[in-house]
Amino acid sequence: MNAPKSPRPRRIGALCALALIAVAGCGTTGVPQTIARGGAVYQANCAACHGTNGQGQPGWRRQNSDGTYPAPPHDASGHTWHHGDGLLFRIVKEGGKVYETPGFKSSMPPFGDRLSDEEIRAVIAYIKTLWPPKLQASQGEAAKTDPFP
């Protein structure tokens, strides 16, 4: 008698192995523990403004009357993925003042006094999991010339 055909579990196993190689190989995301830690940091410090799923605040493209902006999304609909790791790190550590211009006041707070460098790297690793592979790859390119400090 033939053994029952079961191609599925094997295929899933192979996919997992590939995914692990991709994660370890390109370094755009991170190890599961780092991502879990980053997720906890995110929910405790960022979700109130950027949304529990990284969806941002409604109308985030419209400037408030005081010259600030609502918090933008961190998912694929925003532009967080346009920035390299170095700039993302500085934005979280030093706050939005790193990109303020005369006509624009940022309300993104600095977290350097509340989060360790490791926690900042972890929260960025978590945010990367909100992007589809194509955006992760694109951001990975930007991160090559602008890596974490």
Complex with ligand HEC: residue 25 or 113, whichever CB lies closer: 113
Shortest Å distance, C-beta 4 to ligand HEC: 49
Shortest Å distance, C-beta 42 to ligand HEC: 6
**Footprint of ligand HEC on 77-116 (CB under 6 A):** 78-80, 83, 88, 91-92, 96, 106-109, 111
Please count the helices (runs of H) and the strands (runs of E) in the chain: 6, 0
**Footprint of ligand HEC on 27-56 (CB under 6 A):** 45-46, 48-50
Helix (H) or strand (E) holding 40: helix 32-45
The set of residues, in sequence order, having a beta carbon less than 8 Å from that of 54 and lying 6+ positions away, is 42, 73, 74, 75, 78, 127, 130
Instruction: Judge contact between 126 and 35, C-beta under 8 A.
Output: yes
Instruction: Judge contact between 120 and 58, C-beta under 8 A.
Output: no
Contacting positions for ligand HEC (CB under 6 A): 45-46, 48-50, 68-69, 71-72, 78-80, 83, 88, 91-92, 96, 106-109, 111, 123
